[in-house]
Structure 1
Amino acid sequence: MIYADDHYYTLHDVEKQYEFFDSIEQIRECQNKRLAVCLSDMFQWITLCLYIRQKGGMVFPIHPSTPQQGALRMATDASCHFLFYQSMHSMTELSSIEWEGEGGLIQMSSGTTGTPKCIERSWSSVEEELTSYVSTLSLDRFTTSIVACPVTHSYGLISGVLSCLKRGAEPVIITKMNPSYLLKKLNEHRNHIFYAAPTLLHTLSRLMGANQRFHYVMTSGTVIPAIWLESLKSVSTKVFQQYGCSEAGCVAVHTNLQQAWEMGYPLPHLRVEAGEMDAPSEIIVHTATNSVSTKDLGYVKDGILSFLARIDDTINVAGLNVYPQEVENVLMNEPRVIEAIVFRKQNNFTGERVCAQYVSEETIEEIDLREWCSKYLAPHQIPIEFERVSSIEKLPNGKVSRKKLAETYI
């Protein structure tokens, strides 16, 4: 039923876990309770999630690498009654305050542009997303979801694992991020859809042997650089991309990605508003119960939602908008540039200016980079400052915080 690294767990294993959960009062009586869970055993976490969902409780999954004090703080901030840390036998009672509400899933927003928020989604809204998502992907039960991203986050949990179970397939959950191991697992399950972050997909695509290929790959979380996408397409049957937010889950899916900025068609249970190609505006997602302001800038053309930038990341140069991803794609097409990130820096006299960090194995003269950019970009888009770094700092979720870069950049 479920693979976790090198272990295969059957329906009998799931039933044994359910019997174990029945023996723990705080789990068995989880309706009207908020449970924080930080477990390193991924099979136990998935079965616990399914159990709590069946019981109608509220669950808050915390990434297993989180230190105990950090998990306690997060669980307290989310008003949880109990925290199970690393073991179901290790429980901390946090609150005895009565809580009545519909059970569901608690997630923290990424916090790339501010303090993370606690987001609550009902199980009924998760089920609605799953039904819509599975019908949009149109994959059969013989296509294995290989999930190489955190299953404590909605991308790995809902899109990767739960959607796979819903269509009757057996998910493979990977926690060992060794590239050789991952390529071995992909080879063992040739008819697969591989869920991962762009950086990991790019790394694996460069390490593949002559006879190795991805079947389907799914990218999400941050827009994949255009040059990485072309490389990925050359070793994949199809490249998928999905776009979402913590409040609504998956919002749009592209099942045959050609341009990196195209997020795809909105899922049928949602209504999405955005601007037009010549006049982009904030992407607003309308669910059955509320409207979500994403703080993302985009547009819809021919039914396809495209993403340009986070509104907070857009750089205003003398009244003209610069979208970091567009400049990054140009920089990364320079043969010597391996990776690049573009962000804004505030200047008290000249206003906002475009700055860039890049990774390269050799020193590149700044004048060479300017000349390269001038072939493809307008003058206001060309970075004022370039900095060569050994690596580009990323958050634990694999994203880059341009806001944090701007604050620390000297």
Structure 2
Amino acid sequence: MNSPGIFAAVAAAAGSSTDPALITGDRSWSRDELLLTAAELSEGLARRYSGGAVVVETDDPVSTALLTLAADRAGIPVLHRDPSAAAGPSGPAVHDETGTAGRPAPTGGQESPFLGLVRAAADGPEWAGELPPDAQVFFTSGSTGTPMGVVRPAAAVLADARRVADFLGYEPGAPVVCAAPAFHAYGFNYGLIAPLVAGAAVRLLPSRCLPSTCAAAVRALGARTLIALPAHYGLLAQGAGWQGWTVQHLARLRAAVSAGAALPPAVRQHPGNTLELPLFNCYGSSEAGAITLSRVDREQEPGDIGEPLPGVRVRLDGGELQVQTSSLALGQFGSRTGNRLLPVSEPDGWYRTGDLARWSGVTPGRLTLLGRSATIINVAGEKVSPGEVERVISQHPSVLDVSVSAVADEVRGEVPAARVVLRPGAVESELVEWCRTELAPHQMPRTFERVDRIPRSATGKALGARPARDSG
């Protein structure tokens, strides 16, 4: 039986192996309990599956932790899938449904999560044979096209986790609270694997919790780091879903981290004022892991993502940001690759992010993100970045949220269109007039659709954009 990297790295972590390692709901798991239960589960997985992969579709982060450790130890690839997704990969699947087939035996008096094996086929999808036995696979949100599986071997997962843990100061005695979903690479890395390999206790919360729940968990645990989503900080900046003590309970944090999507305009308008938090914005991807972690302040120019993390190399080629990193994924698969595993990097080892960027004109070495090359809007030959238009619109004090996409135009081919969430009492015409003074004519949205909210993915990416053309 194999003993690949993640299980071994957690077993070798610093700190006491009997102190709480994972805390969720009313359950607390020490590292010893996690490893023993995962070892028992891995034996069952090894007996049950001969080849293929296991699909993990669960909201329970402890289930994700146990399956990750167990499958890693057994040499079985894991496909992490959003349990609310409408469709996904086939193969043996594990979810939270009560059952006994895949339920690990209780250990140390702790009741283990319900892990029901809902499909018991011995073989996974045809392409699963191409996956390395230590693979952890994450699916992109699909906000810019068809969802793709991103294949991350254990070495890349651990390099990413250790880079994050070193930068944020994860260590025994410095607990972490995480409110990001573990089926997404951000929550999995920052809130699950990084604390486990650094010996830091982590309290895992539902991703749809209120800021007051995060604050109570931070205070109760004495947490030094909060891993949360842009929506959590947006609610906090607006004063929604929290009591007067919420910010005070977060004051002892040395880092409050956001990733998965851009921070809401309300946060950018008020950091250091309403929030009073050491707020860090992470730029990265499922393919490359964490690339930058930048402290947010009001003086930053729009799109500033800071400097590359230690060990991450970047370059600009024709305005596109490219990355070399030890946390780079092995490849991608999906319908666009013919369900074949294709490398994500060029032959020279550089990964093309698809993001447009420039070097900051303020501080050498810092990067400013301009938007996605695939979403650039061609307005009669003039190139418009939706992200740049969003950043300008978001600076208006009446704007709580904004999303810009392309719509077809008979004369100019395509033009920008904006969906906006405005503060109560805001006058839409004032925003339109303000945009006329701040945007170039070809950047000006043809329409401003006022909406109550902008649907977003689990990590905050805008959904429901209306493409002007087939994105492939």
Q: TM-score, normalised by structure 2?
A: 0.74
Paired with 1:331 and 1:273, the residues of 2 have a C-alpha distance of: 29
TM-superposed CA distance for 1:298, in Å, is: 1.0
- Which SS does the other structure have where 1:126 is aligned? helix
Moved more, 241-250 or 210-219: 210-219
**Greater RCO (CA < 8 Å, at least 6 residues apart):** 2
**Partner SS state of residue 133, structure 1:** helix
Letter in 1 for 2:94: F
- How far the C-alpha of 1:45 sits from its partner, in A, is 2.1
Q: Tell me what 2:30 maps to.
A: 10
% identity of equivalent residues: 25
Q: Normalized against structure 1, the TM-score is what? A: 0.84
1:253 aligns with 2:280: no
The yes-or-no answer on 1:34 pairing with 2:61 is no
Change (3 A) 1:30 1:53: farther
| Residue correspondence of structure 1 range 11-410 to structure 2 within 5 A | 11-18=31-38, 20-24=40-44, 26-27=45-46, 33-66=52-85, 70=87, 74-76=88-90, 80=91, 82-87=92-97, 88=102, 89-94=116-121, 96=123, 99=129, 101-175=132-206, 177-179=208-210, 180-205=212-237, 206=239, 207=242, 209=244, 211-214=248-251, 215=253, 216-234=255-273, 235-255=275-295, 259=300, 261-274=303-316, 281-287=319-325, 290=345, 291-301=350-360, 302-360=364-422, 362=424, 367-401=429-463, 403-404=465-466
After superposition, what is the alpha-carbon deviation per residue over 1:356-380, rounded to whole angstroms, capped at 9, x for unaligned?
1112355765542222123333333
Q: CA deviation at 1:239?
A: 1.2
CA distance in 2, matches of 1:41, 1:384: 43
Worse-superposed segment, 326-335 or 41-50: 326-335
Question: Cα offset for 1:61?
Answer: 1.9
- Measure, in 2, the Cα distance between the counterparts of 1:143 and 1:257: 24
- CA offsets 1:163-201 (integer angstroms, 9 cap, x no match): 112221011110163313233213323443211221221
Paired letter, 2:117: S
Q: Secondary structure at 1:390's aligned position in 2?
A: coil
Aligned Cα root-mean-square deviation (Å): 3.0
Counterpart in the other structure of 2:3: none
Partner SS state of residue 188, structure 1: helix
1:287 Cα deviation after fit: 4.0
User: What amino acid is the match of 1:209?
Assistant: G
Would the aligned equivalents of 1:265 and 1:303 in 2 still touch at CA under 8 Å?
Answer: yes
Question: What is the rounded CA distance, in whole Å, between the counterparts of 1:224 and 1:321 in structure 2?
Answer: 24
Q: Distance in 1 between matches of 2:324 and 2:183?
A: 25
Matched residues in 2 for 1:94 and 1:198: separation? 39
Alpha-carbon offset, residue 15 of structure 1: 4.3
Confirm or deny: 8 A CA contact 1:197 1:219 kept in the other structure: yes
Residue 33 of structure 1 deviates from its aligned partner by 4.3
- Give the direction of change, closer, same or farther, for the CA distance of 1:364–1:252 in structure 2 (3 Å limit): closer
Q: Deviations over 1:335-375 (max 9, x none)?
A: 43332222222212123222211123557655422221233
> How many residue pairs end up in the alignment?
394
Secondary structure at 1:224 match in 2: coil
Provide the secondary structure at the position in 2 that maps to 1:99: helix
**Cα distance between partner residues in 2 of 1:241 and 1:99:** 37
C-alpha distance in structure 2 between counterparts of 1:247 and 1:113, whole Å: 15
3-state SS in 2 of match to 1:263:
strand
Contact 1:140 1:167 in 2 (8 A): yes
State how far apart, in whole Å, the 2-side matches of 1:378 and 1:181 are.
43
Mean CA deviation greater in 393-402 or 338-347 = 393-402
**Does structure 1 conserve the Cα–Cα contact (< 8 Å) formed by 2:177 and 2:214?**
no
Change over 3 Å in CA distance of 1:94–1:348 after alignment to 2: farther
For 2:372, the aligned partner's letter is R
User: Structure 1 unaligned runs (5+)?
Assistant: none
SS of structure 2 residue aligned to 1:143: coil
Q: Which amino acid aligns with 1:266?
A: P
Q: CA deviation at 1:241?
A: 1.5
The answer to whether the Cα contact below 8 Å between 2:421 and 2:452 also exists between their aligned partners in 1 is: yes
**Cα distance change of structure 1 residues 379 and 75 upon mapping to structure 2, 3 Å threshold:** closer
